Amino acid sequence: MNKKKSKSLLDRFLFLINSIAAILLLVGYLLPYISPIKAPTLAVLSLFIPAAFIINILFVVFWVIRLKKYFILSTLVIILGFGYISSIYKFSEKKVILNDDITIMSYNVKMFNHYGWNPNDSIAEKTYGFINEKHPDILVIQEFFGDSKISFEYPHQYIKTKSKTNKFGLAIYSTFPIINSGSLDFENSANNIIFSDVVKGEDTIRIYNVHLESLKISPEKENFGEKDSDRLMARMKSAFTRQGYQTEKFLEHQEKWKGKSVVCGDFNNTAFSWVYKQISNKRQDAFKVAGEGTGRTYNYGYPIRIDFILPDQDFTVNHFKTFPVKYSDHFPILARINLKEKSE
């Protein structure tokens, strides 16, 4: 086989891979409109859309360098999804600092390393130290684990654990008074959604802390390379289906609240998912408004954003930041938000 023919076969093989990545990305554009309750298998694809986007960009560059017309396919697919780019990458940040801003941090702390996933015994102290140093006005924690040895410096709090003996759960801390709190209490799940109504001046703001069904994908394990792929797929499909029902329960609860609100938390799903589209409806995504870079919130093999801060339209988002500290498998995120002037 001569070199020219061999090169042609290689190009065709690479274009086949390119085509698969392009089709995956096209399907990804439809995922926000398909409930995981109806199609849990498709919902699994939402985790791979950021990677598919990156792969298509790389193929465009590759084919352009090679002066091959194959670049047209990925270029067209990327253009079709141009509106999704801000969900994957922000080229410039917004940074406005106002004295009356409210700072909100959302952080999945992985139980402060209670079960020793990290061999560093000082992880818990470092996590507490980091949070107390930043000291956001409102702190929202997923995978909370109660420890009487260390406490946060907040006058108001609402902590919901699975039971009196099980210290695992969710927490909301606030510098502002909390006048009401509650829990949605998901059945047969270690996950949950809680809320607190905080008072700042004349405004009452509902803070939701969301932790949707976990996928049990660990950075320490090569989950997608598990030998029993059928078992892995079944587990993920079950988790996405549960997320669908949990989202419906949240939407029903949210509908009863007519005041201002901010939704924060770990969705265990991406901005390409149905659950994100439903929960973020009529809300702002703080990262998309004021963030920078990939907004990566989960420490996995490629940039993936599954933690969100979503204020409603009554707020102005002035800044958003992800902190790349490796005290958990998630990175903490913080937003500065401000109530809009009544004349706006």
What integer is the mean pLDDT of 287-295? 93
Instruction: List, for residues 68-96, the tens digit of each pLDDT value.
Output: 999 999 999 999 988 777 787 788 889 99
Instruction: For residue 307, give the nearest of 110, 134, 165, 152 by alpha carbon.
Output: 110
Side-chain half-sphere exposure of 207, counting CA atoms within 13 A: 34
pLDDT of 2: 57
Q: Is the pLDDT of residue 291 over 80?
A: yes
pLDDT of 300: 78
Contact 82, 53 (CB under 8 A): no
pLDDT of 32: 93
pTM of the model: 0.91
Q: What percentage of the chain has pLDDT greater than the value 90?
A: 67
Q: How sure is the predictor about 149, in pLDDT bands with cuts at 50, 70 and 90?
A: low
pLDDT of 147: 74
Alpha helices for 281-338 (secondary structure H): 286-290
Following DSSP, what letter does each residue of 286-331 receive, concatenated?
HHHHH--BT---B-SSS-B--EEEEEBTTEEEEEEEE----SSSB-
- Cα gap 286→233, rounded to integer Å: 32
Domains and CATH numbers, the chain: 3-88 (no CATH), 102-339 (3.60.10.10)
pLDDT of 199: 97
Instruction: List, for residues 177-233, the tens digit of each pLDDT value.
Output: 999 999 999 998 999 999 999 999 999 999 999 999 998 776 555 555 555 677 888
What is the CA angle 28-303-111, rounded to 5?
A: 110
As given in the structure block, the two tokens for residue 70 are 């194959």
Q: How sure is the predictor about 344, in pLDDT bands with cuts at 50, 70 and 90?
A: very low
Least confident of 43-47, 144-148, 249-253: 144-148
Instruction: List, for residues 245-289, the tens digit of each pLDDT value.
Output: 999 999 999 999 999 999 999 999 999 999 999 999 999 999 999
Q: How sure is the predictor about 341, in pLDDT bands with cuts at 50, 70 and 90?
A: low
pLDDT of 132: 92
pLDDT of 343: 38
Q: Is the pLDDT of residue 176 over 60?
A: yes
pLDDT of 91: 81
Phi, psi torsion values for 240, nearest 5 degrees: -65, -35
Rounded to 10°, the helix 71-80/49-65 angle is: 140
Q: Between 188 and 151, whose confidence is greater?
A: 188
Q: Is 76 helix (H, G, I), strand (E, B) or coil?
A: helix
Instruction: List, for residues 60-73, the tens digit of each pLDDT value.
Output: 999 999 889 999 99
pLDDT of 162: 84
Beta carbons within 8 Å of 225's beta carbon, 6+ residues apart? none
Q: Is the pLDDT of residue 296 over 80?
A: yes
Q: Is the pLDDT of residue 34 over 60?
A: yes
What is the CA angle 105-258-36, rounded to 5?
A: 65
Burial 308-319 (b: 16+ CB within 10 A, else e): bbbbbebbbbbb
pLDDT of 340: 74
What is the torsional sign of CA 268, 271, 273, 276? Answer: positive
pLDDT of 85: 78
Average pLDDT over the chain reads 90
As given in the structure block, the two tokens for residue 182 are 């509650």
DSSP 140: E
Instruction: List, for residues 153-173, the tens digit of each pLDDT value.
Output: 899 999 999 877 778 999 999
